[in-house]
Amino acid sequence: MGLRQSAAGLVFKSDSRWRCARPVSTILCVHQRRCQPANCSGHGDCVDGRCRCQDGWQGAACDSLVCQPQTCGRHRVCTADGCVCAAGWRGKHCRQECPSGYYGDGCRHTCVCFNGARCHHVSGRCTCPPGFHGNLCEQVCPPGLYGPYCAERCQCGDQCPCDPLTGSCSSVSGGRLTKGVYSSAAGRCLAKQMFALWRQQEEAYRDKPHLSERAWIMITITLASLLLIPLVVRLIGASWRRLIFSYSYRKVQRATSTEKHCLSECLIFTDITRGSERQM
């Protein structure tokens, strides 16, 4: 009986059948079905080859939120918990900005800005008022600059710095510059302005008419006299009133016989006394 062997190792026998060259056993391998992707995008569990999504997620791979950005509307974002307010917004419909001094998610962050600056309700970035700069608006404009973001240049003479808020050149001598912003140029400018002010006051004083020493003495005497005369008049008047009202009066009653006798004797004694005084 002739045998033939194929390239695959099969043997052909005379009974017109192909047979294996050696005994073969068949093994059935059973594998658990896998999900794609295996971790279900991190938002679900793989069960029997299918992703079982967590709350808020959907899709075969649990890679899509249940809510959609277009359904949340303006100033809201779609999350696993549904539509929530975006950073910097609050309220039932997320239409109100964070209150002053707060910013960020849920308006939980506190702004840190100085010199009356306001912070952005979303990012917390400080918006400096005119005359200040820096991340926290903590610095005054350097000498020679003023205005919002210190972008304007002063137009003062003698290299004088201007008011960092308004750019006014006349405020330097008024002391509105904040301590610590003076430079050598600012010092020279201030010295020049003080000297010019002193010269103006000195010239104005010289232009005024002056009185001589004698004139000042006469003025002093006149003023003293005007003050003393009313005082003397008041003293004299008080003395006259005291002299006039120093006597007291008693009501005259009818004298008795004894009193009349005494009175006549007193009168006689008075006449004798007066007569003796005249003879002397």
All domains of the chain, ordered by start, with CATH?
32-64 (2.10.25), 128-202 (no CATH)
Separation between Cα atoms, residue 235 and residue 47, nearest integer Å: 123
Torsion sign (Cα): 256, 262, 266, 268: positive
Average pLDDT of the residues in 6-17: 52
> How high is the pLDDT of residue 273?
45
Per-residue pLDDT reduced to its tens digit, 184-239 = 556 667 677 777 777 777 777 666 555 667 777 888 888 887 778 888 888 888 78
Question: DSSP assignment of the chain, as one string?
Answer: ---EE-TTSEEE-TTS-EEESS-------------SSTTGGGTEEEETTEEEEPTTEESTTS-EESS-HHHH-TTEEEETTEEEEPTTEESTTS-EEPPTTEESGGG-EEP---TT-EE-TTT--EEPPTTEESTTS-EEPPTTEESGGG-EEP--STT----TTT--STTTTTT-SPTT---HHHHHHHHHHHHHHHHHHHHHHHHS----HHHHHHHHHHHHHHHHHHHHHHHHHHHHHHHHTT----------HHHHHHHHHHHHHHHHHHHHHHH-
Q: Which residue has the higher pLDDT, 132 or 258?
A: 132
| Residue 109 CB-density burial (10 A; 0-12 exposed, 13-18 middle, 19+ buried) | middle
Say yes or no to pLDDT of 175 above 50: no
Separation between Cα atoms, residue 173 and residue 197, nearest integer Å: 10
What's the pTM?
0.44
> How high is the pLDDT of residue 115?
93
> How high is the pLDDT of residue 178?
44
Average pLDDT of the residues in 170-175: 48
> How high is the pLDDT of residue 101?
93
Separation between Cα atoms, residue 273 and residue 280, nearest integer Å: 11
> How high is the pLDDT of residue 268?
47
- Mean pLDDT of all residues in the chain? 74
Separation between Cα atoms, residue 149 and residue 196, nearest integer Å: 32
> How high is the pLDDT of residue 14?
55
Name residue 252's beta-bridge partners: none
> What spatial distance separates the first Cα and last Cα of the chain, rounded to whole Å?
216
